[in-house]
Amino acid sequence: MLRFGVLGCASIARRRMLPALADAAGIEVTAVASRDLRRAQETAAPYGCASVEGYDNLLARDDVDAVYLPLPTGLHAEWIEKALLAGKHVLSEKALTVRLEEAQSLVALAQAHGLLLVENFAFLHHSQHAVVRESLPRIGEIRAFSAAMGIPPLEPENPRYLPDLGGGALLDVGVYPIRAAQLYLGSELEVVGAVLRRDPGARVDVAGSVLLTTSAGVTAQLDFGFIHAYRTVCSIWGSQGSLELRRPFTPPDDYPPVLRMEVAGEVTERVLPADRQFVKAAEAFAAAIAAGTDGAQILRQAALVEAVRSSARWVDALH
């Protein structure tokens, strides 16, 4: 059994990842840590595991082999480093780090210690994406890709609005379509242009648009933000047709996705099976322990995010 500790009691941990870790084959949740002991106790209670006050105290436990890290992005680098130095494998929520140089340092550290470090894009493990990849030949050669991830404005005190905690739409929701573009177009993508929208009150980017391209000129148009009605979508436009997923990134465990396809003027909609992408992500992590960290995908993702940030034109947010 791979014994997991959880560093923090964020919503994503309580709603999705802790239940997934508890249900995943070959995994046991042994401890949950928080800066507030009562919060740790409340979060740990349904799983019958230890509650720990303070993240360092969890890392010192000998009944923890790996940690899941759902802390704000700005805290990832510090606590991933501490976890790796404590000899723990790390499954970290996206974005792995704020800066590319931090990701490079952590990948090198994981490799030096023979430990696994994974950025948790759970959607990659949902079976709907396997079905899409199998269906691609029906729409011919890919000509263009587009994806969007947008959510309504958050409460003003939300950490995603705090620059010191790695806030901003790019690092929180923009990373989803960026990762999806690599899934479908491959790893050799470059940033052609980007726009990031700032909100002076929030001091972070609250929305953005990005244009990527492959060396052959296949483009990816990506949109994201905190100033929208909720929307997630992923579509691929080919030489013979097109296809679209409406919930490509965060579907509930009981949600049956719909794959919409149009070929030669004929539109079909195929209802796909619901899937537990977080359970499958946890099991994939456990299965990859023996291989250790490759790190190439982590660094490609971090490099693209850095390129978006450095090349973006900044404009005021729409109101």
CATH number of the CATH domain containing 31: 3.40.50.720
- Do 129 and 275 lie in one domain? The reply is yes
Domain that includes residue 252, residue range: 125-279+305-316
Residue 295 lies in a domain: no
Reading the chain (319 residues) residue by residue, the pLDDT tens digits are 999 999 999 999 999 999 999 999 999 999 999 999 999 999 999 999 999 999 999 999 999 999 999 999 999 999 999 999 999 999 999 999 999 999 999 999 999 999 999 999 999 999 999 999 999 999 999 999 999 999 999 998 899 999 999 999 999 999 999 999 999 999 999 999 999 999 877 789 999 999 999 999 999 999 999 999 999 999 999 999 999 999 999 999 999 999 999 999 999 999 999 999 999 999 999 999 988 889 999 999 999 999 999 999 999 877 6
Q: Based on the structure, what is the number of domains in the chain?
A: 2
User: What pLDDT score does 319 carry?
Assistant: 61
Quick one: 167 and 270 in the same domain?
yes
For residue 14, the SS3 value is: helix
β-pairing, 142-150 vs 89-93, is unpaired
pLDDT given for residue 21 in this prediction? 98
In a domain, 296, yes or no: no
Question: Which of 82, 88, 94, 280 is flagged as catalytic?
Answer: 94
Please give the Cα distance from 98 to 70 (Å, whole number): 14
Let me know if residue 59 belongs to a domain. Answer: yes
Q: Do 70 and 204 belong together in one domain?
A: no
Q: Is 287 inside any structural domain?
A: no
Same domain, 173 and 311: yes
Residue 78 is assigned to a structural domain of this protein: yes
CA distances from 50 to 8, 41, 124, 152, 198 (A): 13, 8, 30, 35, 42
Is 94 designated active site? yes
Last residue of a domain, one of 80, 106, 122: 122
Q: Which pLDDT does position 202 carry in this prediction?
A: 74
Q: Do 129 and 79 belong to one domain?
A: no
> Within a domain: residue 61?
yes
For residues 24 and 146, state if they share a domain.
no
Rounded to whole angstroms, how far apart are CA atoms 314 and 209? Answer: 11
CATH number for the domain spanning 254: value is 3.30.360.10
Contact present, 140 and 239 (Cβ < 8 Å): yes
Q: Which of 53, 88, 122 is the last residue of a domain?
A: 122
pLDDT value at position 290? 86
Helix (H, G, I), strand (E, B) or coil at 213: strand
In this structure, is residue 292 part of a structural domain?
no
- Based on the fold, state whether residues 80 and 107 are members of the same structural domain: yes
pTM: 0.96
Residues 228 and 151 in one domain: yes
Does 178 lie in the same domain as 84? no
Do 132 and 111 share a domain, yes or no? no
Are residues 62 and 175 both part of a single domain?
Answer: no
In a domain, 33, yes or no: yes
Domain boundary among 66, 93, 122: 122
Q: Does residue 267 share a domain with residue 205?
A: yes
Q: So what's the pLDDT on residue 48?
A: 97
Residues 307, 246: Cα–Cα separation, whole Å: 27
